[in-house]
Structure formats: C-alpha cells, structure tokens
Structure 1
Amino acid sequence: MDHSELRALLELIGMLFTDPRTGVLIALLLAAAVSDYRSFRIPNWLTVGGLVFGTVYNILEPPVHGAGWMFPASGIATGFGLMFPFYLMRAVGAGDVKLLAMAGAFLGWNDTLYALLFSFVVGGVAALAFAAYHGLMRRLLDNTRMLLCYLTLSAIGGQRPTVQLAPSQSAGKLAFGVSIAAATIGEVVARQLGFI
C-alpha cells in the first residue's frame, strides 16, 4: 500500500466520524459497550436518546432518496424484532434488544440485519475465548448441546421454549452489548470501505 492509498483509506475512515449519522452512532455504541462491560447494563437514556436522534436525523436527511420515515422505522423493527425472541429465551438482556433497535434507527433494515449477524459471530467468538481462557469449554459445549436439543424438542412439540440454567451450570456471563457495538462499528466501517 503506497502513500496515496493509505491517505485515501484514512480519509474514508475519517468521513465516518465527521458524518453526524455515523459519528453519533459510533459514539453511542462505544458508550453502550463501556457501560455494559462495567455493569452489565445499558442505560435507557442512551438507547432511547440514540433512537430518537437516529430517527429524526434520517427523516430530515435521508441516506436514500425518498426513504423518509421508512428507513429508520424498518431498521428499528428489524433490530427489535429479531432480537426480542432471544430476550424471551433469556439469551440476551433488554438493553441488548434496545441497543440493536437504536442502531437500526441509524442503519435501516439491511445494515441492521448485517449488524445482527456480525454480532452473533463476534459474541460466539468472545464466548469461546472466554470459556477457553477460564477452562470452561466443556461446560459451554454441554450447555450448547442441551439448549439445541431442548429448542428442537420444544419446536417439534409446539411449545414455547423456556430455558433457564442454574447458576452452577453456567459457563459465565458476557456483556453482549460489547459484541453488538464491535460488530455494528465493524459493519459500518466495512460498508464505508466497500467490503459489503
């Protein structure tokens, strides 16, 4: 990579932080990640405030010509709708659901879907690294196998899955908001650089 290519790359990344849409989103995601890491909580003022800002900004300055209110609304619905079942299964917290819905207000439905998929990949890698570091890999794999079997049997039987592990069976707790933040920022950067 020569000097001009490096300069162009830095300019593309710099545009992310100077654009109010992506700059505010990145700042909110970083604040949510720090809060979730420290306390396993994401404040409502952060998610609701970000959702309002993202919605209003994208209505006033639509990223796609003629998108109007549908752009942020579709992103909010995608983030909330796809994360809520995981909240019902107690796999994620309410703050995680609200965080992805907030990001959806900035991203629209398509990029929110990518951010969610990337979040699960980042979260899975983080869970494996955490379990390996703490010597809990066997417990993590056993819990995953049990969860998949239970969900399959619940689906076959037509019942609503309700899975609750005893604290002694858990392989640990991770702040999934950190994974959402890292994955969403990664998605925004990858889109800016033309990888998506």
Structure 2
Amino acid sequence: MDYAIAQQLAAALLASLGLLLFIATWIDLKSHRIPNALVLLGILIGVLGNGLAPAGFGFNSEVLPGGLGWWMAFKGMGYGLMMMLPFYVLRAMGAGDVKLMAMVGAYVGPGTVIGVVVSTFVIGGIMALVVAARSGELNRVLENVRWALFGFMMKSSTGQITNMSEGTATSQIKLPYALAISLGTLWWLAWQRMSG
C-alpha cells in the first residue's frame, strides 16, 4: 500500500478516536455517564482498524503508519482495562471511565496505552485540585486523601480490601473523568509525535 494512503487511513482512524472521545466527554459533562454503545463502537473500530489496516507501527506513527494487528489491539484493550480496574474496585472511578480507557487501548495498543493512562492520571489529578480549589473544598479533599491513604495502608498491612470512600467525609465534587481521559490521550499522542 502506498505510504500516503496508509497515512490517510491512520489519520482517519485517529480522527475517529478523537471524535468518540469528544462525544464521550460531552455526554459525561452533561450526565456523568459514558454510554456503553459508544464505547463498544469505539472498541470495534479500534480492533477492526488494527486488524484490517496494513501492518505498521500504529496509527500515530510517522515512520510506518498502520495497524498493530488483532492481538495487539486486544492486548491494548486489556492493558487499558486492567490499569484502570483497581480504581473502580476502590470506588475511586466509574465503570464507564474504565471501559473508555479500554476503548483507547484498542486503538493505540499496549505500549501507548500505558503512557495514556499515566498522562490521564496526571491531568485528572490537576483537574481534581482545580475543581476542589474553585469549590472551596480543597482542604477537605486533601484531608480525605490523607485518611484514605492511611486507611488503605492499615488495611493492606492486614490483608483486607478497602475502598477509597471509607472513613472520609463526603464531598460534593463530581469530576467528569472522560475529560481527563480525552486530554490524557491527546497529550500522550502529541508527545509521541513530537518526540518520535
């Protein structure tokens, strides 16, 4: 396949990821939910794109844009899911956020999704601090984090499972995490392009 056509196909697949993330963020901002149908559509496009597109180093590659293959798409989806799942178990994140990161992993593969998750956590942490400061709840949030970490360490040392909401004062802050996932994905893909 011609390099220019491969570039256009990769750009189209990246654009579809950007569009799906935009829609997920929009819905999450309005309703604090991420529709399963949207995530499933994205997983299908990511897996099919990676499996059917000519082989390459990923849709974001300038050297050889193309699909990573079926296995790498499923592996990326699994990595995205498994890296976020503990936060759902601890009740620090919603199921829709976990599934959305799995969708991103289906597009970008296992190597890239690790960077996306780290970027998402950094951006999500910054967003949480900004929202807490603007709502006047920064001290309460920091106190909650302190007690949650203390409780987690204490329960972990005895082999018990805890969740992040135990023993903390409740907060009214709801963070639409699809925004952090979208920004984290875009940031990491842009950084890959600039450094590659």
TM-score bracket, shorter-length normalisation: 0.7 to 0.9
Counterparts in 2 of 1:165 and 1:152: CA distance versus 1, 3 Å: closer
Aligned to 1:20: 12
What does 1:1-196 align with in structure 2 at a 5 Å threshold?
19-61=11-53, 62-64=55-57, 67-164=68-165, 169-170=170-171, 172-194=173-195
Whole-angstrom CA distance in 2 between matches of 1:139 and 1:16: 49
Residue pair 2:50, 2:67 contacting (<8 A) in 1 also: no
Counterparts in 2 of 1:115 and 1:66: CA distance versus 1, 3 Å: closer
Task: Report deviation, 1:72.
Answer: 0.4
Counterparts in 2 of 1:163 and 1:129: CA distance versus 1, 3 Å: closer
Q: CA RMSD in A?
A: 2.2
Whole-angstrom CA distance in 2 between matches of 1:23 and 1:90: 32
Whole-angstrom CA distance in 1 between matches of 2:156 and 2:171: 23
Unaligned stretches of 5+ in structure 2?
1-6, 58-65
Whole-angstrom CA distance in 1 between matches of 2:25 and 2:102: 15
Residue pair 1:33, 1:178 contacting (<8 A) in 2 also: yes
Whole-angstrom CA distance in 1 between matches of 2:150 and 2:139: 17
With the length of structure 1 as denominator, give the TM-score of the two structures.
Answer: 0.85
How far does the alpha carbon of each residue in 1:81-112 deviate from its partner, in whole angstroms, 9 at most, with x for none? 11111101111101000000000000101111
How far does the alpha carbon of each residue in 1:6-52 deviate from its partner, in whole angstroms, 9 at most, with x for none? xxxxxxxxx79971221111111111111111110011111001001
Unaligned stretches of 5+ in structure 1?
1-14
Percent same amino acid among aligned pairs?
33
What is the DSSP-based 3-state SS (H/G/I as helix, E as strand, rest coil) of the residue aligned with 1:31? helix
With the length of structure 2 as denominator, give the TM-score of the two structures.
Answer: 0.85
What is the DSSP-based 3-state SS (H/G/I as helix, E as strand, rest coil) of the residue aligned with 2:160? coil
Bigger RCO of structures 1 and 2 (CA < 8 A, at least 6 apart): 1
